[in-house]
Chain A
Amino acid sequence: MATAAEAARPPFWRNVRVLRILGQVIFLALVAVALRELYLNLEFGVRRQGQDLSYEFLRSRAGFPIKEGISYSPNQPYLRAFLVGLVNTIRVAAVGIVLATLLGVVIGVLRLSPNWLLRKAAQIYVEVIRNTPVLIQIVFWYFAVVLTLPAIEGGFSLGGVFFLSNQGTAIPWPRAGPGAGIWGLFLLGGLVVAAVMWSWRTRANERTGRPHHRLSLSFAVFLALAGLGYAVAGDALRLDVPRVTGLIYAGGFRLSPEYTAVLLGLVIYTAAFIAEIVRGSILAVDKGQKEAGAALGLTPFQQLRHVVLPQAMRIAIPPINSQYLNLTKNSSLAVAVGYPELASVSSTMINQAGRAFQITVMVMATYLTMSLLISFVMNLANRAVAYRGVRR
């Protein structure tokens, strides 16, 4: 019997299992060969042009000025200039994501408002913004809005501490004083105590069913400790008030006109898309859910807060993730208005140092890393709100 089965077994080239593996092996080999060809071609071309593929140049002096961002001087190496660009990109992307989400949710909810005027206004906003290119919008904000503010000599000033002109906005900003270290310890302690309070109140609520008030109570103990610490440490914070020196602002916290224009452009553009996602997600929650909430005696706000929004979040998070990625990548359009973010600094680097290939690879790898990080965080958020039963 066994020998008969052995004989009936097909040769290996007829074996589906072997064929499948073989197919994959051949495909992988082809991909590898193609990649290798491309690389050799690149290496050859680059060498023929008298260039190289090393990254040594990153250590030589950059030489060009960058007008804003973390501390930098033209005497620092290219790597530092790259870092300045990266931080500037993160600065605009992170703030942009937060603001675009807030604005987008508000507009999205307004799109469903029973008030005709609000609903129509939100609709016009979405239709106008969503249907014009973001580059044009950024250029518009910069040249037509920000730069038409009065020049610094005739700029607005509020009590000599807030400034607004076409050189940007400057506001007072707290800076760490000598007592900041001790105060920082108190803040840390406050956080720990607040966390303990939170979990205690949560457990008490689960045990007894009495209202937990965990948010307000945790916040109160944190504030109390922070206040106590500030009194103990003394001189922990100093207010850095901006002033006009020559024709630029010094001190305080300064939003440059370029940053302002890019941020406005990105936030307003992305918010239109987020608004549509929010609207669609709310509409996607079955009407019966809301009615069931009403039947339980929940107020309209409670229905929204406890029934509709948790379910809408589930639908909204994946597409909103794409919008965050878009916003981050669109920040590279800042080059049009001279905001020195990653793409802009890199293209200057390419021009001053040559080495287009290496710098382009660095830029691509950096954007990829940023995008993957955002996706990672959003996937965590998605998992947190997913239906427990269908989690995979």
Chain B
Amino acid sequence: MRRSLASKAGIVVAVLALVAVACQREAPGPEGEEAQGEVSLLQTVTDRGVLRCGVNETVPGFGFLNPDTNEIEGFDIDFCKAIAAAVFNTPEVDDKIQLVSVSAEERFSALRAGNYDVLVRNTTWTSSRDGTEGIAFTHVNFYDGQGMMVRTNSKFKSIKDMNNTAICVTTGTTTELNLADRFAELDLTFEAVTFEENPQLQEAFIGNRCQGWTSDLSQLAGIKSEWPESDGGPDAVRLLPDVMSKEPLTPAVLDGDSDWQDAVEWVVHGLINAEELGVDSGNVEQMAASPPNADVANLLGAPLEAGAAPLDSGLGLQPDFMVNVLTAVGNYGEIYDRHVAPLGLERGLNALWGDGGLQYAPPFR
């Protein structure tokens, strides 16, 4: 039995009309659904017993898969450990963190999709990322700038000499945008050779596909330090003196979860304050037992005098969370010295504000 086309079309139209009517009847109410309230990630993570951090595994010093130990380690990884120590209130965090390695391209969508809880992956804080990516930045953990790496035997003295060159850059980064802007400003012709990950970029650079490699100075310093011996080792490449942009690298969390955002933010603040107050992994026990002053007592959640109630900031963390954090990873300066100083990077902008740097954290009070 064959039905005519017209009658088939009639059926389709009728059904669509029916559905359209049904749709109008119940208008969607996202506000109502939102008002049901969601459990903060702080609670979820505490219950789960494992903190998942979105990290990089290709930047020596910051997040790098150590081929000897087969573990990811670095500056950013220690921040992940610090957050875990605060949330779970224990200095033993090695089995309480899960490091999820993400590419520059997928980091935001993976965070939004809930693949991990906090992004500590040398991510630059910008207005449009804050605005359109649905994520919230916490406190800058590393003040960086964009630099340019070239071969030592090339004749470039500054990026002004780099007219008519090919430049390697990772795609989807702020670096890519700054490169276009700076070179346009200087009226230089260039060709951007883009890859998703540093390893491919390095292959192409070693293969002389491009004459310059631009990225955050911290990344370049790390990559230089691990430059393959087969290509001449770290001395085969050098950094140009130019700083092309501001790159405040900042841990980030999902938008709209202020409890979780506060927790992450105050761990970073705590690490900076600890360095300022002279509390480190070595003396934290003793400082907590007998705080020398009110600032240290507040930071460590310890009573200044026996019997006095310690400061509880109401962050949803234990009052003495910084004791565990400092026992686990040490203060900001210790983390820096452990991972970044060996790359040959001076403290510079990342020195404490009292020492002429920019690292300044709100007080525990």
| Chain A residue with Cβ nearest B33 | A44
Interface flag for B195 (CB, 8 Å): yes
Is B105 a contact partner of A63 (Cβ separation < 8 A)?
A: no
A340-B194, A352-B172 known; A74-B164 Cβ under 8 A: no
| Chain A residue with Cβ nearest B171 | A348
**Closest chain A CB from B263 CB (angstroms):** 20
**Closest chain B CB from A37 CB (angstroms):** 10
Contacts of B11 in A (CB 8 A): 21, 24-25, 28
A48-B30, A143-B203, A353-B132 known; A248-B164 Cβ under 8 A: yes
* Contact bitstring B192-235, A, C-beta under 8 A = 1, else 0: 11111000100110011101000000000000000000000000
Interface flag for B184 (CB, 8 Å): yes
Contacts of B165 in A (CB 8 A): 246-248
A50-B134, A67-B192, A348-B176 known; A246-B163 Cβ under 8 A: yes
Of the candidates B105, B172, B196, B209, the one whose C-beta lies within 8 Å of that of A147 is B209
Interface flag for A51 (CB, 8 Å): yes
Interface flag for A112 (CB, 8 Å): no
> Measured between alpha carbons, how far is A350 from B103 in the docked complex, in Å?
13
A-B contact pairs, 10 of them (CB 8 A): A50-B132, A73-B184, A75-B184, A143-B207, A335-B196, A347-B172, A348-B171, A352-B176, A354-B128, A355-B132
Is A247 a contact partner of B166 (Cβ separation < 8 A)?
A: yes
* Contact bitstring A304-341, B, C-beta under 8 A = 1, else 0: 00000000000000000000000000000001111010
A36-B23, A338-B195 known; A64-B132 Cβ under 8 A: no
**Closest chain B CB from A252 CB (angstroms):** 15
A66-B192, A246-B165, A351-B104 known; A49-B19 Cβ under 8 A: no
| Chain A residue with Cβ nearest B178 | A63
Interface flag for A344 (CB, 8 Å): yes
Interface flag for B177 (CB, 8 Å): yes
Of the listed residues A47, A49, A63, A336, the one surrounded by the most CB atoms of chain B closer than 10 A to its CB is A49
Is B181 a contact partner of A247 (Cβ separation < 8 A)?
A: no
Contacts of A65 in B (CB 8 A): 176, 179-180, 190, 192
Contacts of A257 in B (CB 8 A): 209
> Measured between alpha carbons, how far is A65 from B19 in the docked complex, in Å?
46
**Closest chain B CB from A132 CB (angstroms):** 19
Interface flag for A365 (CB, 8 Å): no
> Measured between alpha carbons, how far is A248 from B131 in the docked complex, in Å?
38
Interface flag for B309 (CB, 8 Å): no
| Chain A residue with Cβ nearest B208 | A151
Of the candidates B28, B128, B171, B204, the one whose C-beta lies within 8 Å of that of A44 is B28
Interface residues of A in 98-147 (CB under 8 A from B): 143, 147
Interface flag for A58 (CB, 8 Å): no
Interface flag for B6 (CB, 8 Å): no
Contacts of B177 in A (CB 8 A): 63-64, 74, 352
| Chain A residue with Cβ nearest B133 | A354
> Measured between alpha carbons, how far is A66 from B195 in the docked complex, in Å?
12
Given contacts A338-B195, A352-B176, 10 further A-B contacts (CB under 8 A): A21-B11, A40-B28, A50-B131, A143-B204, A166-B209, A167-B209, A258-B193, A340-B194, A348-B171, A348-B176
Contacts of B134 in A (CB 8 A): 49-51, 354
Contacts of B193 in A (CB 8 A): 67, 258, 338
Of the candidates A32, A344, A353, the one whose C-beta lies within 8 Å of that of B16 is A32
Interface flag for A356 (CB, 8 Å): yes
Contacts of B189 in A (CB 8 A): 246, 248
> Measured between alpha carbons, how far is A350 from B133 in the docked complex, in Å?
10
Interface residues of B in 107-136 (CB under 8 A from A): 108-109, 112, 128, 131-134
Is A336 a contact partner of B194 (Cβ separation < 8 A)?
A: no
Of the candidates B18, B128, B181, the one whose C-beta lies within 8 Å of that of A74 is B181
**Closest chain A CB from B14 CB (angstroms):** 7
Contacts of B30 in A (CB 8 A): 43-44, 47-48
* Contact bitstring A32-67, B, C-beta under 8 A = 1, else 0: 110010001001100111110000000000011111
* Contact bitstring B29-66, A, C-beta under 8 A = 1, else 0: 01001100000000000000000000000000000000
| Chain A residue with Cβ nearest B14 | A25
Is A348 a contact partner of B15 (Cβ separation < 8 A)?
A: no
**Closest chain A CB from B126 CB (angstroms):** 10
**Closest chain A CB from B244 CB (angstroms):** 14
Is A347 a contact partner of B207 (Cβ separation < 8 A)?
A: no
The 5 A-B residue pairs with the shortest CB-CB distance, nearest first, are: A246-B164, A351-B172, A49-B134, A147-B207, A354-B132
Is B132 a contact partner of A51 (Cβ separation < 8 A)?
A: yes
Interface flag for A70 (CB, 8 Å): no
> Measured between alpha carbons, how far is A114 from B180 in the docked complex, in Å?
58
Is A29 a contact partner of B180 (Cβ separation < 8 A)?
A: no
> Measured between alpha carbons, how far is A147 from B192 in the docked complex, in Å?
16
Interface residues of B in 151-187 (CB under 8 A from A): 163-166, 171-173, 176-177, 179-181, 184
Interface flag for A208 (CB, 8 Å): no
> Measured between alpha carbons, how far is A148 from B112 in the docked complex, in Å?
41
Is B34 a contact partner of A248 (Cβ separation < 8 A)?
A: no
Interface flag for B306 (CB, 8 Å): no
| Chain A residue with Cβ nearest B179 | A65
Is B16 a contact partner of A63 (Cβ separation < 8 A)?
A: no
Interface flag for B1 (CB, 8 Å): yes
Is A48 a contact partner of B34 (Cβ separation < 8 A)?
A: yes
Contacts of B133 in A (CB 8 A): 354
**Closest chain A CB from B299 CB (angstroms):** 34
> Measured between alpha carbons, how far is A350 from B211 in the docked complex, in Å?
28
Is B176 a contact partner of A64 (Cβ separation < 8 A)?
A: yes
> Measured between alpha carbons, how far is A43 from B23 in the docked complex, in Å?
14
